[in-house]
Copies of this chain bind each other. A is one copy, B any other.
Amino acid sequence: MRDLEEIIRELDAIESIKKLKARYFRFVDEKKHIELAALFTPDARLVTDGITWKSPTEFANTIRDLTGAAPSVHHGHMPEIDITGPDKATGIWAMEDLLTFPAGEDAPEGHHGYGQYRETYRKVQGQWLIDTLLLTRFRMDALDNWDANAA
């Protein structure tokens, strides 16, 4: 049987990581792109739908530039967090997102998607951060892009 103090430390770390990921989704949809990039370790490795990003900042800035004022929705579900060391953890999350772009000839195609994150986390100076992120998809449905004039 695990030591009581160890259980407490683990449960506390799990809740911190759930809140870290909650801020990740919230900052995307609130368009807080600087705060979003700060949730990752500086040398974090991000791969989403087969795209490998150079840095968390490149990832956050690209979302910012592509979505503009178009509203987005990103939700995570059913976390499986495992604390694998005093400052290391892994996580699996289900996800759903509605991502659209300002309508236009060159706009990427909007989607309503469903997938899964597999992640690792590191605790740096008392803060849990996302260290690696891999997003894969189970299902992607096309979604009309966002018309600023109709909103």
Residues of A participating in the B interface, judged by any CB pair closer than 8 Å:
4-5, 7-8, 11-12, 14-15, 18-19, 21-23, 25-26, 29, 71-73, 75-80, 92, 94, 96, 98, 114, 116, 138-139
Contacts and interface: CB of A to CB of B under 8 A. Distances in A.
A19 B96 contact: no
Listed from nearest, the 8 A-B pairs whose CB atoms lie closest are: A22-B78, A73-B114, A75-B77, A71-B138, A71-B139, A22-B80, A19-B80, A7-B12
Nearest to A20: B80
The count of identical subunits is 3
A78 B14 contact: no
Contacts of A116: 26, 29
Given A4-B8, A8-B8, A94 B114 contact: no
